Amino acid sequence: MTISASGSTVGAPYGKLALLASPTPKAQDAAQTLAASRDWVPLEEADAVIVLGGDGFMLQVLHQMLDLDRVVPAYGLNLGTVGFLMNKQKSSRSLEERLSRARPVAISPLRMDAVTNAGETQSYYAINEVSLLRETRQTAKLEVTVNGKVRIPELSCDGVLVATPAGSTAYNLSANGPILPLGGNILALTPISPFRPRRWRGAILPDTAHIVVRALESVKRPVLVVADQQEIRDVSEVHIRAWRDHQLTLLFDRGRSLDERIFDEQFLA
């Protein structure tokens, strides 16, 4: 691993650092190299966290912080596949120098409250997207309400999703949804394989919007909901809104920040 950590905190904006690595051999090897380079603290005591792995592991760490109610800036080093939320592993600069130069990007997760056919309510948070999907071969029929007004009485489709700007280049983009700029305080509401109405290709909404998706004929046409990696089956109604009270912060090397990557995605052939 060519990135180094000198152990010195001179000029570093974060005094106490936690180190978390995915269980993959590559990430574990990198963690062993960094572990001896300085004193590390548990996440609960850290001013920032260094995350070794890919986008999936970064999402796990961000969710862990939300669960602990201990949210600190996260600086990721890509030891996974895509690494959209991560920084390059190799650099001629020390870890402290990279941290001191890093640009913070604030991200508001989504709060999802799902009501099942049994009448139970479960709540989860999503950093990328909340997706409603049909459970069987039968098409889902969904009613879409925004800010208390029914906007689509019946959407026949494979599903629908709500994506944040950070997640707009993930599943949302694969479903032909728009790429959203960071800092725009907007969300993407995107249908998945819509059948009727045929012309509806989704909407861009302010992140103050309260979105409710109700499953019509939810017993005959069962629907599940996924908030990032958490799945709930047999849902009848889902409420989605931005959770601004718990903003997350990602740290990026200058010149390759998340918003620059989002720009790049829009001009790829």
Answer whether residue 33 is part of any domain.
Answer: yes
* CA proximity to 14, closest of 52, 58, 46: 46
Q: What is the CATH number of the domain that holds 225?
A: 2.60.200.30
- In angstroms, the CA 260 to CA 258 distance is 5
The reply to whether 47 belongs to the active site is no
Binding residues: 55-56, 128-129, 158, 166, 169-174, 230
Q: Are residues 254 and 165 in the same domain?
A: no
Interior angle at CA 111, CA 108 and CA 114, nearest 5: 160
Q: Are residues 115 and 239 in the same domain?
A: yes
The residue segments making up the domain with residue 161 are: 110-244
Q: Are residues 137 and 227 in the same domain?
A: yes
Q: Are residues 116 and 236 in the same domain?
A: yes
Q: Are residues 211 and 132 in the same domain?
A: yes
Answer whether residue 167 is part of any domain.
Answer: yes
| pTM metric for this prediction | 0.80
- In angstroms, the CA 115 to CA 101 distance is 44
Q: Are residues 65 and 150 in the same domain?
A: no
What is the per-residue pLDDT for 143?
Answer: 98
Q: Are residues 134 and 54 in the same domain?
A: no
Q: Dump pLDDT digits (tens) for 220-244.
A: 999 999 999 899 999 999 999 998 8
Of 39, 55, 69, 234, which residue is the catalytic one? 55
Q: Are residues 92 and 131 in the same domain?
A: no
Q: What is the CATH number of the domain that holds 48?
A: 3.40.50.10330
Q: Are residues 61 and 126 in the same domain?
A: no
Answer whether residue 65 is part of any domain.
Answer: yes
The amino acid sitting at 125 is Y
DSSP character string of 110-173:
EEEEEEETTS-EEEEEESSEEEEEESSSSPEEEEEEETTEEEEEEEEESEEEEE-TTTTTTHHH
Which of the residues in the chain have pLDDT under 50?
Answer: 1-12
Q: Are residues 169 and 43 in the same domain?
A: no
Binding residues for NAD(+): 55-56, 128-129, 158, 166, 169-174, 230
Q: Are residues 102 and 114 in the same domain?
A: no
DSSP character string of 5-53:
--S--TT-S-SSEEEEE-SSHHHHHHHHHHHTTS----GGG-SEEEEEE
What is the per-residue pLDDT for 5?
Answer: 35
Task: Report how many domains make up the chain.
Answer: 2
User: DSSP 3-state assignment of 89?
Assistant: coil
Quick one: 139 exposed, middle or buried, by C-beta within 10 A (0-12, 13-18, 19+)?
middle
Q: Are residues 121 and 56 in the same domain?
A: no
